[in-house]
Amino acid sequence: MPEYAVELKDVSKVFHSGSGGEEKVHAVKDINLIISAGEFFTLLGPSGCGKTTTLRLVAGFEVPSSGEVFIQNKAMSKIPPNLRPVNTVFQNYALFPHLNVEKNVAFGLAVKRVPKAERLQRTKEALGLVQLAEMGYRKPSQLSGGQQQRVALARALVNQPAVLLLDEPLGALDLKLRKAMQLELKQIQKQVGITFIYVTHDQEEALTMSDRIAVMSQGDILQVGDPVSLYERPATRFVADFIGESNFFTGMMKAIEKDIAQLEVGSEIVSVSCGIIKANIGDQVTFTVRPEKMMMTTNPAELDAIPGLEADVEEIVYIGTDTRYILRMSDKSTSVMRLQNTCIDDLRRYQKGDHVRVYWKTEDARIILD
């Protein structure tokens, strides 16, 4: 049996709220998850989806209502947080205000009675790793948010845990610093080779850093995969909508051949790929196309010839690198088409009010679970 860093087996967590505990909140519902050693694994979802609860279950701050958490193949249900081979970087950093930076970082080693010489050495290395070697004697209150975040990271990493848990550690930083820290975190993770479990609601952050991502919603894990497969092959409407931007259309299944389906949308016939969804002829299905993968034409010769949908350009939004065209489809729903501004002429290609035909490559349109 291979050794996993973390395995969750049918883990549920129910919180009782209300004055008499009569209200039950299912924060996590029977989730199963396997995280390999050395992975950068992200739990992604909107607030309240259960991602932080999942992290706290691994850390030991919450006990599962049912199911079992395994860390390095050992069942954790009877092991308190202080005896688990994991460390946490908290959202608010939770640095000890009465200790200086060096003592904060050395805290875990001091608790474990690591000899002083080794403690100093490892503390120094950890502070060097997060580029705070000179700040050892400052108090946390004298550091900026980004520096406090690095101290929190060093304080966790210095213990060489089997798994590092990070609960939205970059949430409080401004955009530029956050982007720099994303790359740095990823690099540090590669350097130390420790399994990271990272919680975030920021899909871009998740795509940037992760080896694999689990998308969560309302206590369920909807889809697990690497960034490319999640973005290119979302399984559900929620995943397609939460990661990046998506257009959704519904149509009736007319024919299926291998992976390609012919759908009737209004009076048009379009072809899309089936993905992993099983559907029968005659079923109503939803499919999605990313805005940047849509194409459109105003050429009268092509307007009727290409399989696709009719639309009117309702609004044009210039956003620097790209231009977004808000389209009014013939069934009155709106869609978005996104075009990169490779040269200044691109800006004049379509005008507000143009009647266009929207189309796509078959593999870029996918049927999803609604």
* Residues near another protein (CB under 8 A): 19-20, 59, 61, 80-83, 86-88, 90, 92, 94-98, 107-108, 111-112, 139, 141, 155-156, 159
Minimum CB distance to another protein, residue 83 (Å): 8
Minimum CB distance to another protein, residue 279 (Å): 47
On whether the CB atoms of residues 217 and 62 are closer than 8 A, the answer is: no
Contacts of 134 (CB under 8 A, 6+ apart): none
Alpha helices in the chain (DSSP H): 51-59, 101-111, 116-129, 145-157, 175-192, 203-209, 227-232, 237-242, 300-303
What distance, in Å, lies between the first and last C-alpha atoms of the chain?
Answer: 37
Q: Tell me the C-alpha to C-alpha distance, in Å, between residue 199 and each of 234, 309, 359.
A: 20, 39, 37
For residues 303 and 296, what is the distance between their CA atoms, to the nearest angstrom? 9
Minimum CB distance to another protein, residue 138 (Å): 13
For residues 307 and 270, what is the distance between their CA atoms, to the nearest angstrom? 6
For residues 151 and 134, what is the distance between their CA atoms, to the nearest angstrom? 12
CB-nearer residue toward another protein: 96 or 318: 96
Minimum CB distance to another protein, residue 86 (Å): 8
Minimum CB distance to another protein, residue 81 (Å): 5
CB-nearer residue toward another protein: 141 or 351: 141
CB-nearer residue toward another protein: 21 or 193: 21
CB-nearer residue toward another protein: 177 or 256: 177
On whether the CB atoms of residues 212 and 225 are closer than 8 A, the answer is: yes
Q: Is 219 left (phi over 0), alpha (psi -120 to 50) or beta?
A: left
CB-nearer residue toward another protein: 13 or 155: 155
CB-nearer residue toward another protein: 106 or 274: 106
Minimum CB distance to another protein, residue 56 (Å): 9
